[in-house]
Structure 1
């Protein structure tokens, strides 16, 4: 099948590799412009661009798809389908209508739940039992198009946004290949009107830990904000990032460190105790709890967030 692929991060690159492996004809890849990265702030290509160039595919990086020049890139290909995965640019109706069979999106939730920018993190925050991949026919709305296939995935008690992202990326790659293979036999289904939720973009401010919340909520938030924007609090007035945690029974003052040992840094909350198992001090590296506390013998009794 002749495809245009539009995507930018690792999540999308995994889908592109699967489409290449499946033997699809991909005469055009669209991705975001190179961005400054690293200490030297040198321009860095997206994972999708790097992969496409490795396979000798044509890559274009328009700033927008609203201009006649950008739209001509799409129209001139004469593609049967455009596959979109975490592209990051709005597709205007003119572009949506150009491929003969439209544009298909690989969305990381079970639509209509968690339409929008941060479905993986919001699913963890909401304590959802499962998430998944929806392959949908794109329209002008925000993730409102008809569904071609749905692929559920359980969320485990240890999942972070990072681990769940990797599982969903692999599932999305499998799902788009399977959906394209069965496109003629898979009629699109309208999304249910009930159960619509929106996954708002994440902010650094919301990732600041509120120790007055129940321990289970705090632990989920820490996992949901890993790797970005990173849950954070204060330790002796200095920034402290928290990367992994779980909740246990018990009670102590909110934010107070009850004990610190090889099993974790145990902190009071608004209900229950939070066991921090991976932490990062300002200017330091991510450390397992046993390594973090090695140079901090007086950690017990301190109050986080103050």
Structure 2
């Protein structure tokens, strides 16, 4: 058991993997901060975050403040007296009073190679932009938005078939390994390197409005959007008044009027784009599960000449 007292702040599965690794490495975790329980599922039942579920299963103290602005909201963290606070996809901004509370400060696990893709949705935006690499940055936190100095960073390739879901899982595992390495080295004085001023980009939060594909855009761009929006919010198009989710698609060497169906077979529904065409191979109609294009066409016929709606329609 390490003598280092490590408080943890995080909410989703990405963060839960890091917390599990910290515990398995033998670090003492006197307190876990996570978002308040939120309604989820069809019944909108109050549901604990993955981090809270793991913390409770491991017998850890959990606090769920709405904010960390007041002394009362920070009381549990103050009482825990951690040496360091590890933050991973927590969902709350940390005020200066929290950043300076642990003697070794606060460190963040960020799912990009900073300074590229600061912000809320670095995995989505890296795939959407066509980046060839992503990675994990362990950062010493300051008052800016992902602007603190870099303690550790490691790169991995973005594979041609990667979705946000698959890349998320690989980055979560990498982040768990890298934060444990950082914690082992932190008491010795892990060097902190200021972020370069060049190459800064911001990963804006994903909105559901972005899910609608603009068929006037190039097919290569739309193929990346399909992968970036899988599993959330799910790329979609409207055909005959029905909203169809598109889970897998690849560029095709055809052309035509944007939105028009150029081919429809068990190999794919080919839709013309502003440049080239997009072959849709996994789809989902309302109330149904995800289907291969063969299964989809059996219950929802699509013919050559049919047209997906575009923004101007």
State the shift of 1:73 in Å: 1.4
Structural RMSD (CA): 1.2
State the shift of 1:298 in Å: 4.2
* Aligned: 1:302 with 2:306: yes
* Aligned: 1:132 with 2:144: no
Find 2:52's aligned residue among 46, 49, 52: 49
Find 1:103's aligned residue among 86, 90, 106: 106
SS of the aligned residue for 1:69 comes to coil
* Aligned: 1:262 with 2:266: yes
Tell me the residue number matched to 1:292.
296
* Aligned: 1:10 with 2:17: no
Find 1:158's aligned residue among 161, 167, 185: 161
SS of the aligned residue for 1:27 comes to coil
Tell me the residue number matched to 2:145.
142
8 Å Cα contact 2:67-2:73 kept in structure 1: yes
**Structure 2: segments with no counterpart, 5+ residues:** none
State the shift of 1:301 in Å: 2.3
The equivalences for 1:171-210 within 5 A come to: 171-183=174-186, 184=188, 186-210=190-214
8 Å Cα contact 1:293-1:299 kept in structure 2: no
* Aligned: 1:35 with 2:38: yes
TM-score (norm 2): 0.95
State the shift of 1:180 in Å: 1.3
Counterpart-to-counterpart distance in 2, 1:5 and 1:102: 12
Counterpart-to-counterpart distance in 1, 2:155 and 2:45: 39
8 Å Cα contact 1:124-1:221 kept in structure 2: yes
In structure 2, relative to structure 1, the CA distance for the partners of 1:103 and 1:298 (3 Å cut) is closer
The equivalences for 1:204-283 within 5 A come to: 204-283=208-287
In structure 2, relative to structure 1, the CA distance for the partners of 1:98 and 1:201 (3 Å cut) is same
Counterpart-to-counterpart distance in 2, 1:66 and 1:296: 53
8 Å Cα contact 2:127-2:225 kept in structure 1: yes
Count, aligned residues: 306
The equivalences for 1:67-78 within 5 A come to: 67-78=70-81
With 53-62 and 226-235 compared, the bigger mean Cα shift is at 226-235
SS of the aligned residue for 2:264 comes to strand
State the shift of 1:299 in Å: 3.0
Counterpart-to-counterpart distance in 1, 2:222 and 2:169: 23
